[in-house]
Amino acid sequence: MADTLALVDYGAGNLRSVANALKAAGAEGVVVTADPSIVRAADRIVLPGVGAFRHCIGALSGVPGLVEALEERVLVGAAPFLGICVGMQLLADRGVEHGVTNGLGWIAGEVRVIEPADATIKVPHMGWNDVEPMRNHAGAELIEAGEAYFLHSYHFVPEQSTSIAAMSDHGGGIVAAVARDNILGVQFHPEKSQSYGIALLARFLEWKP
């Protein structure tokens, strides 16, 4: 029997593209859902996110029981979890876009605006860029060196370097992925990263943290 993968629909994600990429990576039991009972029973969970931090955490928190179901299944039940783009940023303690807003607080850190050292480098960070794994955490084995597609103006600044699973560069270091236990978050978009992204999703589908 195929694993059930809950692709969380809270009105702030690129769901169709992510679902198609997961299926291309080999996922069979993808369920697009905002139902806490389905999330609570899922074998794996993917949380996408597009837009502003404040809007996304507000939309996620606005679905009754959804955050609690995620905490129960991921933090207590240890289901493998993948956050994508803003879905990764929401793992932080807080974001500062449009004022300070609390995040999920699963990985200590803050989401701040990208401020390149070179003023000629444009924000948002948009397009293909290198991903360099940082082998200081168990979740980093899912990340391989290569190129992925990024689109963001804010970036995750973890409190501890051991939370960093991969780095990129855009006028200075940009965290490309964070990890903790059974939790992986990627700033780039696997669903837009062609073979590199599909390969990452395939490894996530087999991950047994």
- Residue 167 tokens read as 């780095």
Q: Are 182 and 74 in contact (CB under 8 A)?
A: yes
Q: Tell me how far the alpha carbon of residue 168 is from its chain's centroid.
A: 15
- The answer to whether 191 is a known catalytic residue is yes
Please confirm, yes or no, whether 137 is among the known catalytic residues. Answer: no
Q: What is the spatial distance between Cα 80 and Cα 68, in angstroms, rounded to a whole number?
A: 16
Active site residue 189: yes
Q: Which of 85, 97, 152, 155 is catalytic?
A: 85
Q: Are 7 and 31 in contact (CB under 8 A)?
A: yes
Q: Specify the length of the chain in residues.
A: 209
> Annotated catalytic residue: which of 110, 125, 152, 191?
191
| Residue among 26, 20, 113, 96 nearest 54 (CA) | 96
Catalytic residue among 125, 137, 155, 189: 189
In degrees to the nearest 10, what's the CA dihedral of 4, 45, 143, 89?
A: 170
Q: Across 18-172, where does the E strand assignment appear?
A: 29-33, 44-47, 81-84, 94-95, 101-102, 109-113, 125-133, 146-152, 154-158, 164-169
Is the CB of residue 187 less than 8 Å from the CB of residue 176? yes
Give the residue numbers annotated as catalytic, written as ranges.
Answer: 85, 189, 191
